[in-house]
């Protein structure tokens, strides 16, 4: 990763491959005592402490990045209390880490100036968990060609192959340096993937499906986790369209490259029970269970209305008990540029970019669904759309159940909508001209 190489160029630590602190006589990938210990509950607890000079924004990024391990693996990065062995995470030492657990308060450098990216943070944590760089693993020549003619003699050692345990898994992206790492000739790559030289390597977006599999295999994690990171795809319960197993506990993290996740269920048959206490599905508006729920415990056979998250990440959780199953579910996901879905008793949303002007050519759909017998009260505390005769340009419309209302535009403050049904589908559209600040809205079930 170019950011790591740049951040560490003035570092005075003894480093291998630019970001691994040297511990003599160690090969962590084949050194079982160098792995962090597993507790009786199957979790691998890795305590950590932060240096005092991280900003609130940086601390939040670090903590939310650590939470991805909890979602996708059996590794639990936890704040240190009295543990003797822990990660001492420091903000002024470049992007560096020791390989595997070395005991005591082992330093991990995550510099505020150059390391504050989700993928870089996880890259260094993965070193501390016991992972080499991909371009030095023992079978790397099956996947890449090292162009030694473009590497200065003084840094060739950074490409020495390690005596690594490759876990029987393919080459992965997050622990890889980029194509031009340690190069001495502008425009000439030092690492060329094969057979396709255009395959991207060295990313900083975060854990990939293959990275997740490697952590779970190295630490023998007994977890059912799935990471979906394409623009579109599908997910199903185990054995679908046959019955799912008892005692299932699985999650699917959808992380699209950009925009917002839109999830649509095309089949749904989960054992029905009072308050869905037996088998159920939950959907969170973010990458971990610490994020707000978009959909709480849901079961039965009725199709779930479309779900739109507020970001490019959505977490789906499925759980079954020890008796009675159903066929399960199938869902497809894609991306949209705006919109949202709301099933909780109260919430809020804004037009894209608010309080700045919304963009041109938007088509945003906001769906609010209350329980049967409830209605919805939606209030706009700020409402500024381009005005026009009959609101033919920028406008909002909504469906009250099946009854259409609108369009509305211009300046309306305050603006309150009360439905007669338990569902509302609000659509916001803009044309290519004269954008305004848009709106901010909040709702409650009545």
Angle (CA) 260-445-410 rounded to 5° is 65
Hey, where are the domains in the chain?
1-220, 225-336, 346-445
The pLDDT score that the predictor gives to residue 119 is 86
**pTM exceeds 0.85, yes or no:** no
Cβ contact 19:29 at 8 Å: no
> Dihedral through CA 166, CA 208, CA 120, CA 28, nearest 10?
-20
Q: Between helices 118-129 and 56-72, what is the axis angle to 10°?
A: 60
Burial (CB count <10 Å: 0-12, 13-18, 19+), residue 124? buried
Q: Between helices 209-218 and 118-129, what is the axis angle to 10°?
A: 20
The mean-pLDDT minimum among 180-184, 202-206, 225-229, 330-334 falls in 202-206
Q: What is the DSSP string of 137-174?
A: STTGGGTEEE-GGGB-GGGGGGGPPP----TT----ST
The full length of the chain comes to 446
The mean-pLDDT minimum among 6-10, 386-390, 411-415 falls in 6-10
Select the highest-mean-pLDDT range: 31-45, 165-179, 192-206: 31-45
Q: Please state the φ and ψ torsions of residue 54, each to the nearest 5 degrees.
A: -80, 145
Query: Looking at the predicted structure, is the pLDDT value of residue 2 above 70?
Result: no
Residues of the chain above pLDDT 70, percent: 90
Query: Rounded to an integer, what distance in angstroms lies between the CA atom of residue 55 and that of residue 91?
Result: 10
With cut-offs at 50, 70 and 90, classify the pLDDT of residue 290.
confident
Q: Provide the CATH number for the domain formed by 225-336 in this structure.
A: 2.60.120.290
The pLDDT score that the predictor gives to residue 30 is 58
- Mean pLDDT in the chain? 88
- Which listed residue (67, 124, 134, 317) is catalytic? 124
Which among 82, 332, 93, 90 is positioned nearest to 230, based on CA atoms? 332
Query: Rounded to an integer, what distance in angstroms lies between the CA atom of residue 441 and that of residue 235?
Result: 32
Residues 56-94 pLDDT 10s: 999 999 998 999 999 999 999 999 999 999 999 999 778
- Residue with the two structure tokens 């779970």: 216
Report the sign of the C-alpha dihedral through residues 48, 214, 72, 271, in that order: negative
Q: Is the peptide bond before 407 cis (omega within 30 degrees of 0)?
A: yes
Residues 137-196 pLDDT 10s: 888 888 889 999 999 888 888 888 877 777 766 666 567 778 888 889 988 989 988 888
Is there a shared CATH topology between the 1-220 domain and the 225-336 domain? Answer: no
The pLDDT score that the predictor gives to residue 138 is 81
- Residue with the two structure tokens 């099933």: 343
The pLDDT score that the predictor gives to residue 58 is 96
Cβ contact 52:45 at 8 Å: no
Q: 58 catalytic, yes or no?
A: no
The pLDDT score that the predictor gives to residue 131 is 86
The pLDDT score that the predictor gives to residue 24 is 42
Question: What fold characterizes domain 346-445?
Answer: Jelly Rolls (2.60.120)
> In this structure, which CATH number among 3.20.20.140, 3.40.50.720, 3.40.390.10, 3.10.20.310 belongs to the domain 1-220?
3.40.390.10
Query: Rounded to an integer, what distance in angstroms lies between the CA atom of residue 64 and that of residue 51?
Result: 17
Complete edge-to-edge strand list for the sheet that includes strand 438-445: 346-350, 438-445, 376-384, 415-418
């Amino acid at each position: 990763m170019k950011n790591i190489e740049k951040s560490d160029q003035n570092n005075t630590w003894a480093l291998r491959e630019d970001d691994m602190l040297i511990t003599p006589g160690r090969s962590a990938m084949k050194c079982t005592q160098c792995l962090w210990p597993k507790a009786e509950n199957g979790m691998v607890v890795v305590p950590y402490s932060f240096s005092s000079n991280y900003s609130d924004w940086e601390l939040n990024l670090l903590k939310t990045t650590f939470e991805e391990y909890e979602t996708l693996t059996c590794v639990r990065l936890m704040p240190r209390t009295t543990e003797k062995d822990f990660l001492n995470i420091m903000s002024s030492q470049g992007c560096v880490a020791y390989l595997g657990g070395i005991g005591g308060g082992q330093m991990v450098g995550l510099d505020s100036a150059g390391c504050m990216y989700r993928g870089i943070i996880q890259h260094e944590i993965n070193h501390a968990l016991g992972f080499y760089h991909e371009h030095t693993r023992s079978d790397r020549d099956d996947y890449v060609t090292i162009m030694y003619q473009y590497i200065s003699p003084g840094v060739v050692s950074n490409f020495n192959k390690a005596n690594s345990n490759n876990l029987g898994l393919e080459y992965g992206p997050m622990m890889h340096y980029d194509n031009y790492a340690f190069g001495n000739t502008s425009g000439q790559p030092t690492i060329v993937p094969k057979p396709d030289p255009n395959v991207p390597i060295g990313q900083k977006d975060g854990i990939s499906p293959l990275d997740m599999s490697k952590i779970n295999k190295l630490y023998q994690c007994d977890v059912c986790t799935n990471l979906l990171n394409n623009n579109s795809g599908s997910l199903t319960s185990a054995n679908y369209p046959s019955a799912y197993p008892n005692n299932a506990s699985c999650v699917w993290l959808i992380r699209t490259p950009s925009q917002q996740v839109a999830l649509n269920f095309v089949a749904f048959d989960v054992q029905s029970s009072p308050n869905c206490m037996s088998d159920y599905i939950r959907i969170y508006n973010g990458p971990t269970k610490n994020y707000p729920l978009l959909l709480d415990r849901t079961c039965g056979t009725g199709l779930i209305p479309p779900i739109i998250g507020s970001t490019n990440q959505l977490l789906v959780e499925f759980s079954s008990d020890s008796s009675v199953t159903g066929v399960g579910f199938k869902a497809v996901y894609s991306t949209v540029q705006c919109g949202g879905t709301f099933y909780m008793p109260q919430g809020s949303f804004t037009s894209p970019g608010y309080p700045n002007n919304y963009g041109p050519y938007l088509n945003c759909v906001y769906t609010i669904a209350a329980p049967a017998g409830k209605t919805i009260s939606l209030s706009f505390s700020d409402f500024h759309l381009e005005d026009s005769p009959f609101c033919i340009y920028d406008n909002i419309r909504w469906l009250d159940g099946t009854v259409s209302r609108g369009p509305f535009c211009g300046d309306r403050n305050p603006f309150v909508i009360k439905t007669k049904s338990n569902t509302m589908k609000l659509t916001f559209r803009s044309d290519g001209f004269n954008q305004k600040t848009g709106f901010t809205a909040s709702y409650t079930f009545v």
